[in-house]
Chain A
Amino acid sequence: MENNRASIKDYGYRDFTKLNKIYSIFKKVLVVLIVLGLYLSIIVIAIQSINESRNLSIFTNISFQWYANILQEEELMQAIKNTFLVSSIATVLATFLGTFFAVGLYALSKKSRVLWMLLNNVPILNADIVTGFSLMLMFRLLMVVFPNIFGLFTLVMAHLFFTIPYVILSVMPKLKETDPNLMDAAMDLGVKPYKALIKVVIPAIKAGIFSGMLLALTMSIDDFAISYFNTGAGFDNLSIWIYAVIGRRNLTPSVYAFSTLLTLFTLVGLLLYQFLQRQKKGKKDEKNSFNNISS
């Protein structure tokens, strides 16, 4: 009754300054903890790689002997070679085929494109173990005709099966972005459709092709479950080999050294790519601003 003067709070204003302060500290702590959690395994791998002792539970001294030793570990080298062999074949083929498949899918009517894109998601969403197990059963049926099918061939086929969809998924949005008139213009100028595809469309979608290639390589190099079921004749990739060796509790620290090198290499590669990308963009911007001034 007495207090019917409206306060600022009645208009919906609340003082959050105190809460915001607490929240911002809490936020920072949480971010640090989560990033630590994400990087914990990488940090431990790096520490193990520079540990002098072969014993994984005690840190004795810093030493780079395991790095020098990578080339001497025959089994490890063989696994690395196999991994790169399978992944490079699968990545090159998947990038090449996936690009043309994506163009083909894009040319379909919207309705059937949605349907096929849905099917294209199956290898990505399907659990590795189901994909791996079912492909293994199919290859086993083929064994009646080709007895020595398991090994490099089945691994490459299986890797193609799950890498092509990634290439298509990253090329498709770029195709949607390209100007449909581009193709028409090229053909009006007398170029045959497939030549126009290679000369005009492919250059326009090359960013998508490149990111598709990177994704395919990433998925292929790190794959464990699908490869596990589809390899044979002792053709182990790195994941399968590590999985088998940790069962025997006898993993050479050179693996950690190799993994750390690979992580550093990827990091440098990505930062370099980003840097180059930026420079290119910067140049373009300069050019644009120059054009703006001159016009």
Chain B
Amino acid sequence: MNKEFKVLAKPYMVWLSVLVFVPIIAMIFISFSNLNSSISVSEIALSLSHFKLLWESSTIIAFRNSLIFASATTFICFVLGYFIAYEIKLSKFKNKFILLTFVILPMWSNLILRTESLANIMSENNILKSIIGFNIFGNISGTWMAVLFGLVFTYMPFMILSVYTALEKIDYALEEAALDLGLTPFKKFWKVVFPLSFKGVVTGSIMVFLPTLAGFAIPKILSRGRIVFIGNIIENKFIYTNYNHGALLAVVILIFILGSIFLLTKFDKEGETLL
């Protein structure tokens, strides 16, 4: 491509640098200082006083909840999502695009509304029960099972898409070769197909893990406020305009995210499986 077009990237470089770095620096600064809306400029000083928040039991429990739920969701999404992606790849249906469309179609309707309707049918007397006569979930409203179910089926499409993208790129000749050399179909899968699709699994896992870890709407709606994620604490700090604490917690989440991005670049240099 013509080198002259480099100029076109300049505004984006400025835009990205400003909007990626300035907010993050502001966030780090606010979490380390006593800055708030009622303080005058001369009184601003660095302080570590907000860090006490990190050792409060409510924060630790929230972090534990977020991590446990995010890990469990990622694992379940990996097992079930990989299975679906593999079935789509194997299916004799010619138009794979339509199958993928059906997988991601639910993502096009409003996330909050979908979660709310899930919460509705998880309570004891619900609209499905009044039609089909029995309760498909039992009464799990407000429990960890409700939250896990919501998270898994909300984020699974990301896993399916990433894994499918990686699976699709595998040359069938390799699979044939593996079979010709005497592997059973099962061994072929483990020794050839799975390692080649691992890039997609990593991308998919990150795309499931991160939004789950930092989410706040789904746990709040499905647990009826009983299970607190770290996102819920940040949301509360935001509502009560305690930006220092909110910023501090957001910085901690950011550290997890940077770790994941680092992991991703090890497996996938230019983000090819991101879409």
Q: Are B216 and A225 in contact (CB under 8 A)?
A: yes
Q: Which residues of B contact A259 (CB under 8 A)?
A: 109-110, 113
A63 vs B108: C-alpha distance when bound (angstroms): 25
Q: Which of A1-9, A65-73, A103-111, A145-153 contacts B (4 or more CB under 8 A)?
A: A103-111
Name the distance in Å between A291's Cβ and chain B's nearest Cβ. Answer: 24
Name the distance in Å between A141's Cβ and chain B's nearest Cβ. Answer: 6
Mark out the residues of chain B between 22 and 69 whose CB falls within 8 Å of any chain A CB in the assembled complex.
22-24, 26-27, 30
Q: Are B211 and A246 in contact (CB under 8 A)?
A: no
Q: Which residues of B contact A134 (CB under 8 A)?
A: 23-24, 26-27, 247, 250
Closest residue on chain A to residue B86 by CB atoms: A27
Q: Are A31 and B247 in contact (CB under 8 A)?
A: no
Partner of B117, one of A30, A44, A183: A44
Mark out the residues of chain B between 173 and 191 whose CB falls within 8 Å of any chain A CB in the assembled complex.
182, 184-185
Q: Are B113 and A133 in contact (CB under 8 A)?
A: no
With an 8 A cutoff between CB atoms, is A121 at the interface? yes
With an 8 A cutoff between CB atoms, is A292 at the interface? no
A48 vs B117: C-alpha distance when bound (angstroms): 9
Name the distance in Å between A220's Cβ and chain B's nearest Cβ. Answer: 12
Q: Which residues of B contact A183 (CB under 8 A)?
A: 1-2
A141 vs B35: C-alpha distance when bound (angstroms): 11
Main SS class of interface, B: helix
Q: Which residues of A contact B20 (CB under 8 A)?
A: 119, 122-123
Q: Are A138 and B106 in contact (CB under 8 A)?
A: no
With an 8 A cutoff between CB atoms, is A207 at the interface? no
Q: Are A246 and B116 in contact (CB under 8 A)?
A: yes
Q: Are B253 and A59 in contact (CB under 8 A)?
A: no
Q: A47-B127, A106-B5, A129-B253 are in contact. Are A138 and B23 (CB under 8 A)?
A: yes
A48 vs B274: C-alpha distance when bound (angstroms): 35
Name the distance in Å between B258's Cβ and chain A's nearest Cβ. Answer: 9
Q: Are B210 and A137 in contact (CB under 8 A)?
A: no
Q: Are B275 and A56 in contact (CB under 8 A)?
A: no
Q: Which of A34-42, A84-92, A282-290 contacts B (4 or more CB under 8 A)?
A: A34-42
With an 8 A cutoff between CB atoms, is A209 at the interface? no
With an 8 A cutoff between CB atoms, is A243 at the interface? yes
Q: Which residues of A contact B227 (CB under 8 A)?
A: none
Q: Which residues of B contact A270 (CB under 8 A)?
A: 101, 105
With an 8 A cutoff between CB atoms, is A117 at the interface? yes
Q: Which 5 A-B pairs have the closest CB atoms?
A: A104-B8, A104-B9, A127-B214, A134-B23, A41-B114
Given A45-B117, A255-B113, A270-B101; 10 other pairs, CB 8 A cutoff: A38-B106, A39-B106, A42-B106, A117-B271, A125-B257, A127-B213, A129-B214, A140-B243, A170-B275, A243-B112
30 contacts between A and B (CB under 8 A): A12-B182, A31-B83, A34-B156, A38-B106, A41-B106, A47-B128, A48-B127, A51-B127, A59-B127, A59-B130, A100-B8, A104-B10, A105-B12, A107-B3, A107-B9, A114-B269, A116-B16, A120-B271, A122-B16, A123-B19, A128-B215, A130-B27, A134-B24, A137-B243, A175-B1, A218-B107, A224-B217, A242-B112, A251-B116, A274-B101
